[in-house]
Amino acid sequence: MKIDISQLRKGCILSTDILSVTNRPLALKKTVVNEQTIEALRAFLVKIVDVEPLLQDGKLFQPQYILDDAKTQKKPGKEETGILSNHTSFYQLYMEAVKGFKQLYIGWQSGATIDIGKVRKVILPLIEESIDQTGEIFKIYHYCKVEEYHFHHPITVSLLSSYLARKLNYNQGDINQIAIAGLLSDCGMAKVNPLILTKKIALTENDYKEVKQHPVHSYNMLKNIMSIKEGVKMGVLQHHERIDGSGYPLGVRGEQLHPYGKIVALADTYQAMVSIRPYRNKQSPFKVLEQIMKDEFGKFDLTVLVELKKGIANFSSGTKVRLSNGETAEIVFIDEQYPTRPMVKLDQTAEIIALKDKNTIYIEELI
C-alpha cells in the first residue's frame, strides 16, 4: 500500500523499488526501513512509498493515512540497511565524506596539521563515483543541513569543481587536485571564531573582516605541504578573487588568477547560493544561475561558466519543478539562449509556458 513519506517508520518493509529521477535505485524492494533509509528518501524528496502491512501486537497496524492511488490514506513495515545497492551509493558516499571532513575540521580547530592522505580518503571515492552520477551533483544542495553547512559546503564545492574540470578536459590527475582544492578552500575557517560562523544575524564589519581572512589561513595551512601541486594552494588562496579584481583577499584579476582558482571560485559561489543558510532558504539552480549571469557578470571565467550552464541544462529536461507562483511543472525544453528560463508543462492544466516570456515567474525549486 502507498503511504506518505511522513508516515514511514523504522521497521516498515518496502514493497517496490524506489528510484531517483535518474532511475538509479534509492532503496530496493524488501528493504527493512531504518533511520538512514528515511533520511535518504527525504533527501531525494521522495513523497510516497509502497510498503507491506505491518503487524503490531498481533494486529494489523494501520497508519493515519493510506494513499489509495488517488486520495490520502497510509501504511508501514521491519529492519536492514538497503539505501542503494551494495552500500556504495552516491548518497552514502556523500554523507561519509561529510562526516569524514567534519572529523578533520574539528582536528584543525584544535591545531592539527592537514594530512593530505586522509583528505584524499575522504573525497576521492566520492569523486570517482560522481563520474557516472553527474545529475546527482546538481541535486546535492538538497542534502545540506543548515546547522552543518560548513561541513557540507566543502564537499559540494569539491564535487562541482571536479565536474567542471572534467568538462574542461583536464586529465584525471588534475581533476583530483582541483577536487582537493575545492575541498580545502575553506579549511581556514577552522581558524575563524566559530561564534561568527554560526551567527543568524548580519555580520558586523569586524566579523566580516575576520571571515575574509579565511583564504589566507587556508593557504598558510597548505603552503608547506609538498605532496600537492602549487595550483591547489593558489586555487585555495584565490577562490574568492574575481576576474574584474573585485574579490579578496588580494584583489588580483584576470590572468593573475590560477586556472584552478577560477574553477573553484565559481563552484564555491554557486554552491553557497543554492544551499540553505541560517538567514535564507535553499534556492534552485536555475534561480542561482540567473543571478550569477546578471549580478556577477564579468566576475567569473566565461569558459567555466559555460560548462556550468550546460550541466544545469543537460540534467534538467524532464525534471519536476516548483515555480515561484506555487505551481508545479515539468521541464520540457531548454533553449541554450535562455538556460535559466526553460519551457515547462504545468501539472494542473497541462499548459506549456515559456518562462522567458514570463519575467515575474521563475523556478523556485527542483522537486
Q: Do 61 and 144 belong to one domain? A: no
Least confident of 4-18, 60-74, 141-155, 211-225: 60-74
| End residue of a domain, out of 45, 69, 86 | 86
271 falls within a domain: yes
- Angstrom distance (rounded) from CA 31 to CA 83: 8
| End residue of a domain, out of 86, 117, 149 | 86
294 falls within a domain: no
Mean pLDDT of 348-362: 92
Q: What is the pLDDT of residue 334?
A: 86
pLDDT tens for each residue of 24-38: 667 787 788 887 788
CATH number at residue 346: 2.30.30
CATH number at residue 102: 1.10.3210.10
351 falls within a domain: yes
Label residue 345 by pLDDT band (50, 70, 90).
very high
293 falls within a domain: no
Quote the percentage of the chain above a pLDDT of 90: 54
Q: Do 189 and 221 belong to one domain? A: yes
Q: Do 78 and 99 belong to one domain? A: no
Q: Do 138 and 222 belong to one domain? A: yes
| End residue of a domain, out of 235, 264, 283 | 283
Q: Do 93 and 53 belong to one domain? A: no
Q: Do 63 and 118 belong to one domain? A: no
252 falls within a domain: yes
Q: Do 18 and 7 belong to one domain? A: yes
pLDDT tens for each residue of 124-177: 999 999 988 888 898 888 888 888 999 999 999 999 999 999 999 999 999 999
Label residue 197 by pLDDT band (50, 70, 90).
confident
202 falls within a domain: yes
292 falls within a domain: no
Q: Do 82 and 122 belong to one domain? A: no
Q: Do 127 and 192 belong to one domain? A: yes
Please give the tally of structural domains in the chain.
Answer: 3
Q: What is the pLDDT of residue 67?
A: 47
Question: pTM for the whole thing?
Answer: 0.75
311 falls within a domain: no
Q: What is the pLDDT of residue 54?
A: 61
Mean pLDDT of 224-235: 96
Label residue 10 by pLDDT band (50, 70, 90).
confident
Phi-psi region of 86 (alpha: psi -120 to 50; beta: other; left: phi over 0): left
Q: What is the pLDDT of residue 72?
A: 37
Least confident of 76-85, 320-329, 336-345: 76-85
Q: Do 58 and 137 belong to one domain? A: no
Q: Do 112 and 258 belong to one domain? A: yes
Q: Do 208 and 244 belong to one domain? A: yes
**Residues of the domain holding 9:** 2-86
